[in-house]
Structure 1
Amino acid sequence: MKKLIAITLATLILTSVLLSGCTSQNTTSNTNTITTETGKGNFKGTLVNSNGNINDTLMLEYIKSMPKQPLSEQEKEGLIEMREEEKLARDVYLTLYEKWKLPIFKNIAESEETHTTAIKYLLEKYNIPDPVKNDSVGAFSNPKFEELYKKLVEEGNKSVVDALIVGATIEDLDIADLQKWINETDNEDIKFVYENLMKGSRNHMRAFVRMLNRYGANYTPKYISKEEFEQIINSNTERGMNQQ
């Protein structure tokens, strides 16, 4: 009898250990992992969703987990430019939504808000003055973006198709500029942010091109190569998941 009880207890203990191991695995399966020079951090959530939105809370955690590296003048210039360029996209889309009431402009404008915020986190980390002094639609520190805003809105006000072409053009420019600034930096955190913003921009490009096709129209790239454009629109929606 004692032997039977001992066997039963041993079986219960072994079962408990095995179940504990399975529970531990299930708990960590939805955790994003990133390895940096300062170590490994575990973060839960999706960084970029199918609409191209950046999870700003998660992005801020990622940025804080990465080393603060020396910054060149070109890297500073890139951050300042992209902060306003992402705001430009948001502002144009908000304005075109008011004109045409197409949900795509409202949805992607909300996404662009998360993109410009991600750049803001990097500006704050490196103590770079924020060029966005006035967050109002159409207000920019750099006259280049003010003029571009006016030009794009004027084009987009002509017709729904023209407005969608403007959307694709902005994403075209955004992808090209992000690629340029990625090539100009060796900072781990800056590259990480730019690469994830590009995922969002490619998702936006796909969305605008799909909508243009519904209207029987197409888009011809102006800033990225035709080959890259074709690769983007013929590939699946991207999401920022595990980063290793």
Structure 2
Amino acid sequence: MSDINITASGTSCSNLNSTPVTVPLTEDEADALIFMREEEKLARDIYLALSDKWGVPIFANIAASEQRHMDAVGCMISRYQLVDPITDDTPGIFNNEVLAALYPALLSQGLESYEQALQVGATIEDLDINDLNKELASAQHTEVIATFENLARGSRNHLRSFVGELEKLGANYTPQYISSEEFEAIISSPMETGTAGGKGQGHGHG
């Protein structure tokens, strides 16, 4: 399998696209790629807005990682000739109705306070991990599995970062999507390295 080359400067699809497609995607895999493309956009859009509001590195750093995640899924969408759901890259614009409704609700919460902004970040990563877990459970295609595993690794790192910042404030995060057991296993383990792992660490507020 050819890898997607994801670096700090962006994503190159050249390696992936240099090899022919030999195994078609299932309908579920195609739907999953389309959904994850916009879910990564949701994260990026909110983190960029929260970065503007609170001016702390964690949001800008993780927003850049989410852009790389978007690009990685975009490579897969292009490779398998799917219709890209992002026809308008304006922040807050989504084709998926669920994500379109989540955006204003999460953004409003995140603008209330720095602590609430971190809670929103943890919530988004919690949701992302849960959705990726579901997609990985049914995915069959090697390239789809590799892409989603890379995204999940990044989301686990982002969750660790947000929870770490909350702990500095004396606050906690209660998982809403993944199990308490999975949550504890993630935050009690060290940052993971690897393609698209995006640690996204930043300093505290102030």
Shorter-chain TM-score: what band? 0.7 to 0.9
Q: Deviations over 1:151-192 (max 9, x none)?
A: 000111111111100000000000010111111210010000
1:239 aligns to 2:193 (yes or no): yes
Q: Deviations over 1:55-98 (max 9, x none)?
A: 623x7525755854222221111011000000000001011111
SS of the residue 1:136 aligns to:
coil
Which structure has the greater CA radius of gyration?
1
Using the alignment, how far apart are the partners of 2:122 and 2:9 within structure 1?
19
1:56 aligns to 2:11 (yes or no): yes
Are the aligned partners of 1:171 and 1:201 in contact in 2 as well (CA < 8 Å)?
A: yes
Residues 130-209 of structure 1: pairs in structure 2 closer than 5 A: 130-209=84-163
Are the aligned partners of 1:108 and 1:204 in contact in 2 as well (CA < 8 Å)?
A: yes
The residue that corresponds to 1:222 in the other structure is: 176
> In the alignment, which of 60, 80, 92 is matched to residue 46 of structure 2?
92
Using the alignment, how far apart are the partners of 1:239 and 1:66 within structure 2?
29
Q: Deviations over 1:84-115 (max 9, x none)?
A: 00000000101111111121111100100000
> In the alignment, which of 59, 65, 70 is matched to residue 24 of structure 2?
70
Amino acid at match of 1:56: T
SS of the residue 2:189 aligns to:
coil
> In the alignment, which of 64, 68, 82 is matched to residue 128 of structure 1?
82
Q: TM-score scaled to structure 2, two decimals?
A: 0.87
Query: C-alpha displacement at 1:143, in angstroms?
Result: 2.0
Instruction: Tell me the number of residue pairs that the alignment of Structure 1 and Structure 2 aligns.
Output: 194
Q: Deviations over 1:175-221 (max 9, x none)?
A: 01011111121001000000011111111001001100111101011
Are the aligned partners of 1:176 and 1:223 in contact in 2 as well (CA < 8 Å)?
A: yes
CA RMSD of aligned residues (A): 2.1
Amino acid at match of 1:229: F
Gaps of 5+ in 1: 1-35
SS of the residue 1:56 aligns to:
strand
Amino acid at match of 1:201: S
Runs of 4+ displaced beyond 4 Å = 62-67
Gaps of 5+ in 2: 196-206
